Structure formats: structure tokens, C-alpha cells
């Protein structure tokens, strides 16, 4: 119940009963049903009667009160008697004649919520010899409520004590309705202002066109909840429906991507760039008769067609519709027009974002491998996550390269920068590095040539990279690192650890940079994880913490979803723990390779390697590979002899010829016979080795003597161009 504010004044003085000896210590208290309380009620004493102080009512006041429907009252505080004239009695619903009633009887006429308010204000006025007023509701005999307003003032007797209250009362129904309407309109304006702010915030956060459509179709318009919403983009004379709510698919389907005809209200809104409001079905049919047949089946009765204008060009249309006929007032039309402007700006920004994102995604798809080749003996999984800002394109890449001899090369790299230029350099570098690897060059040579290639491009960009050649026959990895992250290895028992690889300068820093190779082995089922720094480093996370989190993600049990390969589940788990796309500052490339090992769990029984001319470092690598192979093949007792004789044959081939040599080792397991190892070294020289007896001071010439002395058999065979030298060892005889 609306009430007037209580008057401010000095603290209330207590009103009590008369003091002993007939003297009173304060005004006389009024006796009520609840006890002696210093308050009674509010209302009338005929205003035309002379007051107690001898004044009389002016003759002009009575006609003025009658003309305005104002009644008068007087309350005798000592006798607790309220007297009201006929108009006052009618206003409070107490009959059509003058009223004479006690305060408690009067309070009983009021609404239970309003009686305490009136009591409190009258008490205060009596205590302070002041005035008071309030709105209150009276309960009529038929149970209906009636709004009343009163205004009264307390008068004192000759001794300064409260004697009576006189005042006016009038019907406040219309006044309260007006105040209620004003309050409702104020709340509605506040709701609309809040709605515009929330809509602007939501639309500003919408990134894609789909986001804009979702936000628009979920907006709760204040004061005019629509029954249907449609958002459409306009391009090349057609409307494309982006989102709709409150419509069946068959209602909006005919309009999607259909030519916009001139007789439609949507065409007029786009052409004029002004909203079109239709308040009823009859108005729609009258203004657009040709379009009415199709629109009538939707069941709507009022529409607002809002053109979306950005940079002076119509880019779309909003349709707001209602089931009932509705004439929108000026405030509602302004609200809808403002909403259309917000949606237009958001849609224009989102379309630009989608176009840039599609361009970047297409360029990235072209730069990265479309498919990863399948290589027998290993299983791979790759992932690429764009950055969360800008063009969402960068210089990170991965590649899997099949190599001669059935081996496989793994590449992970990151070109400096996050723009189209970096992506272009990445594409050139990826192709060059792939070509070098496919030619059969060893890992160190592949990396050195790639660095020289990038330096020769003169782009002022550098790149970090890790290249690893995996011997699929027995799971040995030869890794080279150029300023990149170390790989992480997941062991067969589910544990994980960082595999340290000797590092060199990033690619493109120096054209003469040389790189060292780090060799490590895998057991069947173990996985190598290569990634770029976007996965493990950000402003909020240092590199050490990121690598620790990566190791934790790689380790643990794997639960494939839908019967897929566990390595795919591992890749998903790693990427799911990366930063959210909206917060990611860098793009991410991820490459996983699991060495499955040969069938039956036994290593392949053959090893083939090409040895570059005068590449003595390659000879040392070959000896290490041979040791691992013989150990995996289960003939470790042949390692020392085989390694010594292999060094002699390979060194002889690359020393006395001007071409590369091909090394082949095979282990033959024949029924009921001991395993037999055959090692062959092929070259393209027609010069045959000669067995001779060197003197005591000679520094060479003992190679064939060692072969003849230690091998179970040896020989030289012609190959058409060049020759093949071989020797054989038997495992049982060696033992």
C-alpha cells in the first residue's frame, strides 16, 4: 500500500493516564479494545460546524469541498469519538449519512495491512501536536477494496494538550492508479534500459554468426514478449535464415535462400533501410496482398521487420512477430530499432570473423599434410589446434615421412610468428625438409640442409624443429633437435619421461650449423610424443610446469572411446588439457608415434642401411644399430664378432670407392639348425679386394685376414655394376 512519508520531528512523548490528585501529566489517553494506547484513528467531524476555538468554516469552503468530492472529519481525542460528514462517510464506505464512530471501529474498516500504518502515524501526530496523512484501503461491505487518502492536524487545548484532530478525506483510487501506472512505466523503462545493456553485452561477446543467431533468438524482450523471432542475412538478393525461434521448419524453409521479391515487407525494409511495422493481419493483407497468402499460414497477427544496416549497407533482417494483433507504441518501436542496430553491428563483425577464420583454416589445411601415411610397424596420431585470437593461423606444423628401407621420419616444428607470412614460410620449409628426408639423408644432414634452406630464403624468420628417424625394424630412434622441445616417451608400463636430445641452433640462424644425433630405443607399445611450445608454455605457465603437466597427461591408463585406437585417446587427452581456445595465445601441433613391433613380438630379422661416401660417423651409428638388432634377434653372442667384421667391410667399401655403400644384415632361422647371420656390403666399384700378408709395420691390409679368420664363410660376388662382399656367422659355433 502506497503511503506518504512520516513527518519528521522531535522524539515521541509518552501519553499516559491522569496523575493522582486530578492533575494530568499529559494528554488524555484513548481507551481501545487492546488497552489504553495513545492513538486513535483518523476521520471526520463535519467541517461546517464551528470549531472549539470559536472559528467558523468560511462560506466558500463548503461548495469547494463538495465540488472536489472532499469530506471532512473531526476526532475528539478525549472522548475517542470520530465524527465525519456525509461525503467522508461515503468515501470510507460507512454509509450515506453522517458518521459518528470510535477509533477502533474505524480501524476495523481498514485493510489489515494499512491499519497499523494509520495507527502509527496518528500516534506520532498526537504526541508531537503535528499533522499526518496516508493512503489506505477500506474494506467495503461487499468485500471490495476502496482507496482513500486523508490529511489531518492535531489541535491543542488552552493548556497545550492534544484535544482533537481535524482534517479532510477524499477518494484516492484514480490517484493511486495514476501512481501505479507511473511506477509500472518507470519499471518498464528501467527493464528496457537494462535489456539494452544486457543485449549489447551478449552481442559483443558473440564471435561467430552462429553465436549472434543464438543470442538474438534467446533475447527476452521486456514488455513485449514476441511469439516468433527470425534472423536472416542478406546477400546477392537472397535471404539466408541464420536462426529462428517460435516457427516450425516448414514455415521458414520456403524463405531460406529464396530470391527476395519486391512485394514482400522484408524487401521494403531492406530497400528503404527503415523498419516496417504491421499491427494486424488485415493491415498485412491490405499493404502486401501478394505476400499475404504465404504469411497467413504462420498464424501470426502482428509483425516488425527490422533491417540490419552496417556501414550504410543492408546486411540482413530481423523479424519480430506476435500471435495477437498489436499496435506498438513509440517506445516499443524505438526499443526494436535500437535492438536492430545492435544486431547489425554484431552480425557484421561476426561475418568478418567467420570469413577470416575460413581463410585461415583453408590456408592452414593446405600447409599441413592432408593425411598421415600409414607405415607398417608403427601407429601415428596428429592434432592441430589454432590460436584463440587473430587469424587463428600460425607457423606450427607436423609431418610423417616414409623413408627408404621401410623406416619413418617424424617432423615437428614452429616458425616464428602467428600470421600468414609465418604460415607461408612454414609451408616452404615443410616441403623442403620432407624432400631432404625422403632422399635418404641421415637426420643430422636433413636438419643442416633445412637450416641452410631457411637461411637462404632471407625472410628474417627462424624456426625451431625436431626431426626423428625411427628404425621400424627394431624401434631405434635417431633424433635431432634445433632449438625445439625435447620429446616425451610413454613407456609400456604407462609411465612417461622427457627424453633428452642434444640441441642446436634454430633453423635459419646459421647456414653452416651442424647438428648432433641422439639415439634412443623403444620397446614394442612405447610411444614418442612431439609437440610445439603452445601446448606447454603460456603467460600463466612456465615451460618446466608445462612439461610436467604434459608428462602427467601422457602417463596413466588409456580408455579408448568407441573401440578406437588407444593412441587416438591419448592424443585427445593431451589436447583436452590444453588452454581453452578463447584464451590460447599460440597454435599447437602434436605428433604421436607408437612402435608396435613386429608380429609375434619378435624383431624383424633384417637391417638395411645406406652409408654415405666418406661418412665415417655413419659407420659408428651403424655399429650401434647392429648391436641393438642382434640383441633383439636373440643372438647377442654374435655382437662382438659381427661388429668387428662389419666395420672392416664397410670401411673398406667407402674408403676405396667414390659412391655410397649399402649394408644389409639378415638372420636366417632354418629348421633344426642354429641361427645363421649373413652380412652383405654392396658398392659400385669394379675393384675387387685382394688378400695379402702385410708386414709388421704395415697400417692396413689385415681386414680380409680378420674376415677369413673369424667368419664361418665369406666371399665376393659381382652385381653387374659393382660387387657384393659378404660373410656369415653361426650362433651355435660362435658360442
Residue 474 and residue 580 in one domain = yes
Residue 399 and residue 501 in one domain = yes
Does pLDDT of 31 surpass 50?
no
The share of the chain scoring above pLDDT 90, in percent, equals 24
Q: Which pLDDT band holds residue 316 (cuts at 50, 70, 90)?
A: very high
CA nearest to 499, candidates 511, 490, 512 = 490
In this predicted model, which residue has the larger pLDDT, 303 or 584?
Answer: 303
CA nearest to 277, candidates 234, 306, 314 = 306
Residues 197-228: tens digit of each pLDDT: 888 888 888 888 898 988 888 877 776 788 88
Q: Determine the structural domain holding residue 106 and report its residue range.
A: 20-171
Residue 398 and residue 500 in one domain = yes
Residue 142 located in a structural domain = yes
Residue 581 and residue 633 in one domain = no
pLDDT of residue 137: 83
Does pLDDT of 150 surpass 60?
yes
Residue 306 located in a structural domain = yes
Residue 176 located in a structural domain = no
pLDDT of residue 484: 93
CATH of the domain at 162: 3.30.450.20
CATH of the domain at 494: 3.60.40.10
> Which bin fits 686, alpha (ψ -120 to 50), beta or left (φ > 0)?
alpha
Does pLDDT of 541 surpass 90?
no
Residue 646 and residue 610 in one domain = yes
CA nearest to 379, candidates 524, 488, 485, 497 = 524
pLDDT of residue 25: 39
CA nearest to 257, candidates 228, 231, 288, 235 = 235
Residue 450 and residue 568 in one domain = yes
Interaxial angle between packed helices 420-438 and 330-367, expressed in degrees from 0 to 180 and rounded to the nearest 10? 20
In this predicted model, which residue has the larger pLDDT, 568 or 56?
Answer: 568
Kindly state the cell numbers that stand for 597.
613391433
Residue 488 located in a structural domain = yes
Q: How far apart are CA 360 and CA 347, in angstroms?
A: 20
Q: What length does the chain have?
A: 735
Considering just the CA atoms, what is the radius of gyration of the chain in Å? 49
pLDDT of residue 180: 66
Q: Which pLDDT band holds residue 447 (cuts at 50, 70, 90)?
A: very high
Residue 6 located in a structural domain = no
pLDDT of residue 388: 60
675 alpha-carbon distance from chain centroid: 61
Of the residues 599, 625, 654, the one at which a domain ends: 599
Residue 247 and residue 224 in one domain = yes
Residue 113 and residue 211 in one domain = no
pLDDT of residue 218: 83
Of the residues 599, 633, 661, the one at which a domain ends: 599
Does pLDDT of 47 surpass 50?
no
Residue 387 and residue 308 in one domain = no
Q: Which pLDDT band holds residue 46 (cuts at 50, 70, 90)?
A: very low
Residue 260 and residue 342 in one domain = yes
Read off the pLDDT of each residue in 306-331 and give the average, rounded to a whole number. 90
Residue 367 located in a structural domain = no
Total domain count for the chain?
4
Non-local (6+) Cβ contacts of 134 within 8 A are 3, 4, 42, 114, 117, 118, 121, 149, 150
Residue 198 and residue 294 in one domain = yes
Of the residues 584, 599, 614, the one at which a domain ends: 599
Non-local (6+) Cβ contacts of 397 within 8 A are 367, 368, 411, 412, 413, 414, 415, 426, 427, 429, 430, 589
Residue 551 and residue 410 in one domain = yes
Lowest mean pLDDT among 121-130, 337-346, 389-398: 389-398
Q: Which residue in the block uniquely carries the three cell numbers 467495503? A: 140
Q: How far apart are CA 579 and CA 386, in angstroms?
A: 11
Residue 87 located in a structural domain = yes
Residue 182 located in a structural domain = no
**Which pTM was predicted?**
0.49
298 alpha-carbon distance from chain centroid: 36
Q: Which pLDDT band holds residue 570 (cuts at 50, 70, 90)?
A: very high
CATH of the domain at 679: 3.30.565.10
Amino acid at each position: 500500500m502506497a503511503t506518504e512519508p512520516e513527518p519528521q520531528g522531535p522524539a515521541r512523548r509518552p501519553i499516559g493516564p491522569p496523575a493522582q490528585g486530578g492533575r494530568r501529566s499529559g494528554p488524555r489517553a484513548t481507551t481501545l479494545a487492546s488497552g489504553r494506547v495513545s492513538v486513535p484513528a483518523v476521520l471526520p467531524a463535519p467541517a461546517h460546524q464551528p470549531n472549539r476555538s470559536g472559528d467558523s468554516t468560511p462560506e466558500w469552503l463548503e461548495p469547494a469541498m463538495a465540488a472536489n468530492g472532499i469530506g471532512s472529519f473531526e476526532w475528539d481525542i478525549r472522548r475517542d469519538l470520530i465524527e465525519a460528514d456525509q461525503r467522508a462517510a461515503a468515501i470510507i464506505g460507512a454509509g450515506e449519512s453522517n458518521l459518528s464512530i470510535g477509533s477502533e471501529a474505524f480501524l476495523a474498516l481498514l485493510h489489515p495491512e494499512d491499519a497499523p500504518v494509520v495507527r502509527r502515524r496518528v500516534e506520532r501526530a498526537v504526541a508531537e501536536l503535528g499533522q499526518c496523512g496516508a493512503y489506505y484501503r477500506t474494506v467495503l461491505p461487499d468485500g471490495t477494496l476502496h482507496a482513500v487518502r486523508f490529511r489531518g492536524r492535531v489541535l491543542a487545548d488552552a493548556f497545550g494538550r492534544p484535544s482533537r484532530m481535524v482534517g479532510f478525506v477524499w477518494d484516492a483510487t484514480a490517484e493511486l492508479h495514476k501512481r501505479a501506472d507511473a511506477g509500472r512505466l518507470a519499471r518498464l523503462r528501467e527493464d528496457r534500459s537494462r535489456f539494452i545493456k544486457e543485449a549489447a553485452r551478449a552481442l559483443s561477446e558473440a564471435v561467430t554468426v552462429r553465436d549472434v543467431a543464438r543470442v538474438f533468438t534467446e533475447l527476452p524482450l521486456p514488455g513485449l514478449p514476441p511469439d516468433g523471432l527470425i534472423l536472416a542475412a542478406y546477400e546477392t538478393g537472397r535471404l539466408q535464415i541464420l536462426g529462428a525461434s517460435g516457427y516450425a521448419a516448414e514455415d521458414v524453409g520456403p524463405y531460406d535462400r529464396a530470391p527476395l521479391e519486391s512485394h514482400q515487407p522484408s524487401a521494403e525494409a531492406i530497400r528503404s533501410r527503415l523498419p516496417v511495422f504491421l499491427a494486424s493481419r488485415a493491415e498485412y493483407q491490405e499493404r502486401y496482398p501478394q505476400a499475404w497468402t504465404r504469411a497467413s499460414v504462420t498464424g501470426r497477427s502482428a509483425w516488425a521487420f527490422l533491417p540490419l544496416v552496417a556501414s550504410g549497407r543492408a546486411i540482413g533482417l530481423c523479424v519480430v512477430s506476435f500471435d495477437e494483433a498489436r499496435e506498438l507504441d513509440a517506445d516499443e518501436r524505438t526499443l526494436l530499432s535500437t535492438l536492430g542496430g545492435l544486431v547489425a553491428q554484431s552480425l557484421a563483425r561476426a561475418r568478418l570473423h567467420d570469413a577470416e577464420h575460413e581463410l585461415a583454416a583453408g590456408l592452414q589445411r593446405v600447409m599441413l599434410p592432408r593425411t598421415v601415411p600409414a607405415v607398417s610397424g608403427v601407429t601415428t596420431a596428429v592434432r592441430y589446434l589454432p590460436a584463440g585470437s587473430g587469424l587463428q593461423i600460425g607457423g606450427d606444423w607436423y609431418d610423417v615421412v616414409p623413408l627408404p628401407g621401410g623406416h619413418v621420419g617424424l617432423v615437428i616444428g614452429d616458425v616464428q610468428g602467428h600470421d600468414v607470412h609465418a604460415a607461408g614460410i612454414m609451408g616452404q620449409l615443410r616441403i623442403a625438409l620432407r624432400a631432404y628426408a625422403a632422399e635418404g639423408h641421415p637426420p643430422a644432414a636433413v636438419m643442416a640442409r633445412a637450416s641452410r634452406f631457411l637461411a637462404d630464403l632471407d625472410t628474417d624468420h627462424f624456426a625451431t624443429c625436431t626431426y626423428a628417424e625411427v628404425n621400424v625394424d627394431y624401434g631405434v630412434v635417431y633424433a635431432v633437435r634445433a632449438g625445439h622441445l625435447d620429446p616425451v616417451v610413454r613407456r609400456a608400463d604407462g609411465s612417461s619421461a622427457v627424453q633428452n636430445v642434444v640441441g642446436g641452433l634454430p633453423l635459419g640462424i646459421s647456414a653452416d650449423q651442424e647438428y648432433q644425433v641422439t639415439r634412443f630405443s623403444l620397446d614394442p607399445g612405447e610411444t614418442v610424443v612431439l609437440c610445439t611450445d603452445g601446448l606447454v608454455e603460456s603467460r600463466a605457465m612456465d615451460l618446466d610446469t608445462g612439461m610436467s603437466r604434459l608428462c602427467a597427461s601422457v602417463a596413466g591408463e588409456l580408455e579408448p572411446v568407441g573401440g578406437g585406437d588407444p593412441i587416438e585417446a591419448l592424443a585427445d587427452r593431451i589436447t583436452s588439457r590444453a588452454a581453452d581456445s578463447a584464451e590460447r595465445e599460440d597454435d599447437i601441433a602434436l605428433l604421436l608415434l607408437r612402435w608396435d613391433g613386429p608380429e609375434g613380438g619378435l624383431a624383424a630379422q633384417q637391417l638395411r642401411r645406406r652409408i654415405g661416401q666418406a661418412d665415417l660417423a655413419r659407420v659408428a651409428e651403424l655399429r650401434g644399430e647392429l648391436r641393438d638388432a642382434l640383441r633383439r634377434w636373440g643372438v647377442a653372442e654374435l655382437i662382438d664378432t659381427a661388429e668387428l667384421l662389419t666395420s672392416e667391410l664397410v670401411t673398406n667399401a667407402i674408403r676405396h670407392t667414390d659412391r655410397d655403400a649399402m649394408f644389409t644384415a639378415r638372420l636366417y632361422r632354418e629348421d633344426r639348425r642354429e641361427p645363421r647371420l649373413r652380412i652383405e656390403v654392396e658398392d659400385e666399384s669394379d675393384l675387387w679386394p685382394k688378400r695379402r700378408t702385410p708386414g709388421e709395420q704395415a697400417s692396413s691390409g689385415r681386414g680380409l685376414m680378420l674376415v677369413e679368420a673369424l667368419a664361418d664363410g665369406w666371399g665376393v660376388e659381382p652385381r653387374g655394376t659393382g660387387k657384393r662382399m659378404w660373410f656369415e656367422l653361426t650362433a651355435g659355433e660362435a658360442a
